[in-house]
Amino acid sequence: MMMGAKPCVIPTLAGRTGEKNLSAMQFEKGCKRSEPSYLCTLRFDEIEEASGPIPGVVKLLREFEDVMPDELPQKLPPKRAVDHEIELVHGTKPPARAPYQMSQPELVELRKQLKEMLESGIIKPAKSSYGAPVLFQKKADGSLRMCCDYRALNKITVKNKYPIPLVADCFDRLSRAKYFTKIDFRSGYWQVRIKEGR
């Protein structure tokens, strides 16, 4: 049975005798056929909530807070041995698409995000023959995620072949893992430099 969104299993003294859980439709059909069915419910007067963060985890977070900031540094990532390069098919013209229509709240959000990126040095003013429209996707928390539609650019890029691992193999390797991290998920595309243009 379910308690909220969590499964709740109640052990019984009797062994299993082939009983099964029924869906609402199966239960209704069984009642029409006069089949014996049982329904039980649990009532909780108080639901204990977690008492707070685990002390050991809090200690680790404090010890390594310099490598786990709440906000990313407001600057470009450091120069590394390899920068991301977008190779174009020889002889193709740079795509330039017209902007998409936006609502007033989206325009306000666009100006806000562009201002933040300019101030932090993530982007800089430039003249280019390339152009990609921007659109917004609403996040789970209600804020807007800015997305650039690079489909026209993708059509003229050199398609490098790289063997992508099978998802099933990845899950098999992680089957005994207890802890997972999403350390580089936040603004992941901002953490790799783009190679300077020619």
Residue range 138-174, pLDDT digits in tens: 998 999 999 999 999 999 999 988 888 898 888 888 8
Higher-pLDDT residue of 41, 79: 79
Cα separation, 180 vs 68, in Å, equals 15
Identify the pLDDT of residue 150: 94
Residue 194 is classified by DSSP as: B
Q: How much is the pTM?
A: 0.56
Nearest to 103 by CA among 138, 52, 57: 138
pLDDT at 186: 67
Specify the range with the lowest mean pLDDT, choosing from 9-18, 71-80, 119-128.
9-18
Bridge partners (DSSP) of residue 158 are none
Beta strands in the chain (DSSP E): 2-3, 6-7, 134-138, 144-148
Handedness of CA 184, 188, 190, 191 (dihedral sign): positive
Predicted pLDDT of residue 27: 74
Residue 183 has pLDDT above 80, yes or no: no
CB-based contact 75:187 (threshold 8 Å): no
CATH of domain 1-198: 3.10.10.10
Residue 164's pLDDT is 87
Domain layout of the chain by residue ranges = 1-198
* pLDDT over 90 at 40, yes or no: no
C-alpha to C-alpha distance for 154 and 116, rounded to whole angstroms: 27
pLDDT tier for residue 124 given thresholds of 50, 70 and 90: confident
